[in-house]
A = this chain, B = another copy of it.
């Protein structure tokens, strides 16, 4: 397979204009948009609406009970309509500012060994830079061809990092508009640090919750931290929260909530085929370097490690705080302790089922006073490798000279279920060329070269998708 002449022309134009494209990307990531504390959210929604309008589309900032959704339409009377899902919010930078080598919103391009020139910024990979790159690619196609090969719908939310709390509400209210889409695309670069393309057909579900233990009828200080000499005769909300957490997960990593694993599926037959193929190229050393760990859990390797990643639900502590955490010594018995926890769900676990089981566990173990606050939750989603839109992305990678390593799902979560489940029932694909990493971490980055290749791959993908056959049975 090789690229057609018109496609080569588009790619050359991306090369020519890339310096300007890169500036547009830098401008976008320099605008903070932290949904957790609200920094820059309105301004970023405005900017994002502007991107759609610059392409000639119509766009609205649609209010929700939380941050608004930027919704847009760009129609060319094409047979196929692709819904582009994205987000304009990013993760907070608290607790990690000291670890950044450039300010997290400076949008600086620096030489980051061993990757070469990189944009180092919050949002560099997750996902403002790739989102702007998508617009850059569309801009070039329009400049060269005067139209896109597909119609586009845009759903760009501002709460992905908060668990997409109000996205279902938006989708419910826009079913008619959204049902014009044939498929969903989430643009995000897919190459690992060595250049291998890694493709994920789905996501895990997530429950993000907070456990809070405060002194009360059961004991403990009720109003304020008290002098720690009282620890001899007054119980501690901190110890109590620790014991509650400990009761949920054993030091061997086993989650001890009754029935937690009941609905965990074994690999389906399509998944078995995918697994057999992916272990041929699976490169655990590169992953270890990327996430900077010295060993994986239980010292697993190869297929066992891959299965651990794919088929393990998790109970992770994102944060915990109580009492005196500043400099020096302060001898207090704290009156409250809080832990933020995320649970990742694999097929066929259900969010409500797991929340109920967690609450039942606390009841059963006597931790009736511990408050469970559900911040957000949504289910897993996964599509078949045979979906039209997935095959279009696979063909795109091959046209660019890459054979993708295909995983049934990623360990992370994204709210594809809102599109993939009824009433929309839309297949989805995640991808694009390019390499970036350290999402949710300091020094999040994307390579500059990868951004350029990403824009080219987006252009290729839109044409591949436009010309793809609807698979049998659809």
Contact = CB atoms under 8 A, between A and B. Distances in A.
Contacts of A316: 228, 231, 236, 331, 333
A242 interface: yes
Nearest to A223: B292
Given A226-B291, A317-B236, A441-B227, A329 B162 contact: yes
Contacts of A331: 206, 208, 316, 318, 342, 412-413, 440
Nearest to A326: B94
Contacts of A162: 328-329
A295 B419 CA distance: 52
A319 interface: yes
Nearest to A306: B233
Nearest to A443: B224
A327 B219 contact: no
Contacts of A81: none
Given A221-B292, A239-B249, A334-B319, A326 B230 contact: no
A332 interface: yes
A456 interface: no
B321 A320 contact: yes
Interface residues of A, number: 98
A278 to B, nearest CB: 15
Interface in A133-181: 161-163
Interface string A313-344: 01111111111111111111110011010101
Nearest to A322: B320
A330 B92 contact: yes
Given A251-B243, A321-B325, A326-B92, A293 B220 contact: yes
A8 interface: no
Interface string A223-265: 1111111111111101110110110010101000000000000
Contacts of A297: 219, 232-235
Which among A96, A204, A251 has the greatest number of chain B C-beta atoms within 10 A?
A251
Contacts of A340: 323-325, 329-330
A224 B319 contact: no
Nearest to A317: B238
25 contacts: A35-B328, A37-B327, A37-B328, A94-B326, A95-B323, A95-B325, A161-B328, A162-B329, A206-B331, A208-B329, A215-B293, A227-B291, A227-B411, A230-B291, A231-B315, A232-B312, A233-B296, A236-B317, A239-B251, A240-B251, A242-B317, A317-B322, A318-B330, A318-B334, A320-B320
Interface of A: 35-37, 91-92, 94-96, 99, 161-163, 204, 206, 208, 215-236, 238-240, 242-243, 245-246, 249, 251, 253, 291-297, 300, 305, 308-310, 312, 314-334, 337-338, 340, 342, 344, 375-376, 410-413, 438-443
